[in-house]
Amino acid sequence: MPPLRSLVFVAAALMFPAAGQDNDQPTARFTGGTTLVLIPATVTDPANRFVLGLQQNDFHLFEDGVEQTITHFSGEDAPLSIGLVFDASGSMMDKMRTSRQAVTQFLKTMNPQDEAFLVQFSDKAEIVSGFTSKPEEIQNKLLSVQPGGLTAMLDAAEMALREMKKAKNPRKAILMVSDGGDNNSRYSAAEIQSLVREADVQIYAMGVFEPTIFLGLSKEEVSGPRLLSELAEQTGGRAFSASDPYDLPSVAARIGIELRNQYVLAYTPKNQQRNGNYRKVEVKVNKPAGIPDLKVRWRLGYYAPGE
């Protein structure tokens, strides 16, 4: 798909809570020398509707081509810890109102047990609201956000990943509203890619693509939207493109709903070598009788632990 200009991306870290384990550990988790890998998966039909009600035996999971035994399975909604990262740079001037509306629509999908924090960024990133279970507090903070300055998007992503370690819920999501082009961060794209892989995040991107918008922009600003799209595909998320900024709120609401309609598969790899290598994961679903072909999106892999 073409690069996106105005982007919203969601990163969700999904894991089963286990006694004696911290919620901020990555996918490859350790218990007595054993690794437990968690893979979130979304299943849709040809009409792009969520397919619910599937059971554990409907799924087949492979690592580097070898089928694995699914030991844990969940298809139920659970409380979320949400990080909202909002772009307040000058490039968001014409999109500020619809971007606020997009966040509001996403917040409407929150449950009472959920919690959220808000990071805003322009020349630099800052936390303007810590974790709260009251969506209206986040909305009030958004009203005071005024656009101006440069875009430290990658620094904001790093700050949100770090803040998320304080989350009380095992399921975590980060929603970022941005134009997707960074021009003022200390962190590089490669460093953020590495942090995302280690944190086991699922990324969604939503944006408005304007064919002439890239004229006169730096390499980093042009490649930012493409980077987010690549991360979305790699982590089992999706990149949404809206032809009109006014479509952003409805797409943001869909992202929130999708986070409530995912399956989480867990397995202990048959390959227990601790070599730090990247391992490819594939998920297949048995198609129920009378249902057209299904589309499955999942996290495409993970890094094995090292010695």
Structural domain count of the chain: 2
- 226 and 284 both lie in a single domain: no
20 domain-assigned: no
- Quote the pLDDT of residue 263: 92
Instruction: Convert 219-247 to b/e letters by CB count within 10 Å (16 or more is b).
Output: ebbbbbbbbbbbbbebbbbbbbbbeebeb
- Please, are residues 241 and 91 in contact by the beta-carbon 8 Å criterion? no
Q: For residues 90 and 255, give the distance between their C-alpha atoms in angstroms, rounded to a whole number.
A: 26
> Which range (20-24, 63-67, 159-163) has the least confidence?
20-24
| Lowest-confidence pick of 40-44, 132-136, 174-178 | 174-178
Whether 18 is covered by a domain: the verdict is no
For range 38-65, the mean pLDDT: 93
Q: Are residues 121 and 254 in the same domain?
A: yes
Asked if the structure places residue 1 within a domain, the reply is: no
Q: Residue with structure tokens 């081509």?
A: 65
- The reply to whether 192 falls in a domain is yes
Considering the domain architecture, whether residues 88 and 223 belong to the same structural domain is answered as: yes
**Are both 46 and 144 inside the same structural domain?**
no
Q: What pLDDT does residue 1 have? A: 39
**The model's pTM:** 0.79
| pLDDT on residue 23 | 38
How many CA within 13 A on the CB side of residue 76? Answer: 6
**Do residues 126 and 272 both lie within one domain?**
no
Q: What is the mean pLDDT of residues 145-154?
A: 92
23 falls within a domain: no
Please give the residue range of the domain that contains residue 149: 6-12+78-259
Please give the pLDDT value at position 5.
Answer: 39
Q: Specify whether 168 is located in the same domain as 247.
A: yes
Residue 40 in any domain: the answer is yes
The tens digit of pLDDT for each residue in 206-261 reads 766 555 555 556 666 666 677 777 777 877 878 777 767 788 899 899 999 998 99
Q: Is there a domain that residue 57 lies in? A: yes
Q: Is the pLDDT of residue 57 over 90?
A: yes
Q: Which of 67, 44, 38 is nearest to 199 (CA)?
A: 38
- Does residue 234 sit in the same domain as residue 287? no
Predicted confidence band of residue 26 (pLDDT cuts 50, 70, 90): very low
Please report, for the domain that includes residue 217, its CATH number.
3.40.50.410
Q: Are residues 106 and 241 in the same domain?
A: yes
Residues 82, 39 share a domain: no
Domain membership of residue 147 (yes or no) is yes
| Alpha helix segments (H runs only) across the chain | 96-107, 135-143, 153-163, 189-199, 219-235, 248-259
Read out DSSP for 24-53? T--SSEEETTEEEEEEEEEEE-TTS-B---
Residue 99 has pLDDT above 70, yes or no: yes
Identify whether residues 112 and 175 lie together within a single domain.
yes
Neighbours of 195 (CB within 10 A): 16
40-49, 104-113, 179-188: the lowest-pLDDT one: 179-188
Task: Examine the domain organization and report whether 142 and 56 are in the same domain.
Answer: no
| Terminal-residue alpha carbon distance, the chain | 39
**Whether 41 and 103 share a structural domain:** no
Task: List the beta strands (DSSP E) in 52-211.
Answer: 59-63, 66-68, 70-74, 80-87, 115-121, 125-132, 171-178, 202-208
Digit-coded pLDDT (tens) for 286-301: 987 777 789 999 989 8
Between the alpha carbon of residue 167 and those of residues 23, 119, 173, 176, 275, the distances in Å are: 8, 15, 10, 17, 30
